[in-house]
Amino acid sequence: MRPAVRSRRGLRATLAHGIVFALILLFSAGAAIAQGARATAAPGPLVAAASDLRFALDELAAAFRRDSGTAVRIVYGSSGNFRRQIAEGAPFELFLSADEDYVVALAREGRLVDAGTLYGIGRLALVIPPGSPLRADGTLADLAAAGRSQRIGKFSIANPEHAPYGRAAQQALTAVGAWETLRPRLVLGENVAQAMQFAVSGSTDGGLVALSLAMAPGALGKAAYAVVPAALHSPLRQRMALTRRATPAARAFFEFLQRPASRQVLQRYGFALPGE
């Protein structure tokens, strides 16, 4: 009988050790899964970017993720709205503005680490959808004539009140004598990307938008575009800066955007580079 007792005791001990070991494995696996979930859920830096950067910055963010393993969260919109939101405490870590004055103002208010750096100079483009009575004439002479003869229905630009490309469009239209005749026909986009959407979709007879959007592969569809002379509007000097909320990941992305390879991407989308 004693061997049987020892056998039962040994079996109970073995079972107990097995249960404890299984619980340890289960706990360890659960901890590892939880840790992995936390790592996966960890958000990347939150970036506020002017709408003219939509295609170029998406490409650069994808390259940064390949290099660093960090995904960047980008919100696109009008620079003027972002300037107000950051001043009111919005949790952005990096601001890429289409108007450097917004960055300089925020820096003076103490919302940014410093005044940042100029990353590009934007250009305007005239976009004309198929079937439009307008010609893709970058001088805007045909557009001005169409306004005088009422040969045009609707025309889109970004809202000049808070979108730098909208202000540049207003300046260009004023320079060729077309602002007053076209103003009743204007459809204002909340930002330049929306103005572009109105133009290429045929909702308007055309639009003045960012060259960087017109040059994006596939963005035009069957629409045509022409570059507007830079002399028709004030320079679209575009600046970026880190906010006081910037994390190390945001700082790394900020440095990444200043690399020669990143600057070449911006140049490919029609931006003039500082110092060139």
Q: Could you tell me if residue 175 is inside a domain?
A: yes
* Rounded CA separation 167/160 (Å): 4
Q: 135 and 96 share a domain?
A: no
276 domain-assigned: no
**Residue 227 token pair:** 């570059």
Q: Are residues 53 and 104 in the same domain?
A: yes
Whole-number pLDDT of residue 276? 67
Same domain membership, residue 174 and residue 143: yes
The answer to whether residue 274 is domain-embedded is: no
Whether residue 257 contacts residue 240, with contact meaning beta carbons closer than 8 Å, is answered with yes
Are both 129 and 112 inside the same structural domain?
no
Collapse the DSSP code of 247 into the 3-class scheme (helix H, G, I; strand E, B; otherwise coil) and give the result: coil
Domain shared by 96 and 129, yes or no: no
Domains in the chain, number: 3
Residue 130 shares a structural domain with residue 225: yes
Is 189 part of a structural domain of the chain? yes
Q: Does a structural domain hold residue 57?
A: yes
Which of 2-11, 92-101, 207-216 shows the lowest mean pLDDT across its residues?
A: 2-11
Residue 266 scores a pLDDT above 90: yes
Closest of 115, 119, 118 to residue 242, by C-alpha:
115
Residue 175: pLDDT over 80: yes
Query: Which residue blocks in 128-238 are alpha helix, DSSP H?
Result: 141-149, 164-175, 179-182, 192-201, 211-214
Within-domain flag for 160: yes
* Choice among 5-9, 79-83, 157-161, 238-242 with the minimum mean pLDDT: 5-9
pLDDT above 70: residue 58: yes
The phi, psi pair for 124, rounded to 5°, reads: -90, 150
Q: 150 lies in which domain range?
A: 122-232
User: Would 195 be classed as within a structural domain?
Assistant: yes
- At residue 42, the pLDDT reads 58
Domain with residue 264: its CATH number is 3.40.190.10
Sorting pLDDT into bands at 50, 70 and 90, what band is 162?
very high
Is residue 89 located within the same domain as residue 158?
A: no
Q: Looking at the structure, do residues 116 and 130 belong to the same domain, yes or no?
A: no
> Burial, 153: exposed, middle or buried (Cβ in 10 Å; 0-12, 13-18, 19+)?
middle
Q: What is the pLDDT of residues 66-123, one digit of tens each?
A: 999 999 999 999 999 999 999 999 999 999 999 999 999 999 999 999 999 999 999 9
Together in a domain, 108 and 178:
no
Question: Per-residue confidence at 28, pLDDT binned at 50, 70, 90?
Answer: very low
Residues 62 and 194 in one domain: no
Same domain? 12 vs 73: no
State the Cα–Cα distance between residues 204 and 47, nearest whole angstrom.
31
Can you give the pTM of this predicted structure?
0.82
Q: Please state, in angstroms and as integers, the Cα–Cα distance from residue 271 to each residue in 88, 133, 215, 235, following that order.
A: 30, 29, 10, 11
For residue 275, is it within any domain?
Answer: no
Query: In which band, very low, low, confident or very high, does the pLDDT at 275 lie, cut at 50, 70 and 90?
Result: confident
Look at residue 25 in the predicted model and tell me its pLDDT: 37
- Residue 160 shares a structural domain with residue 226: yes
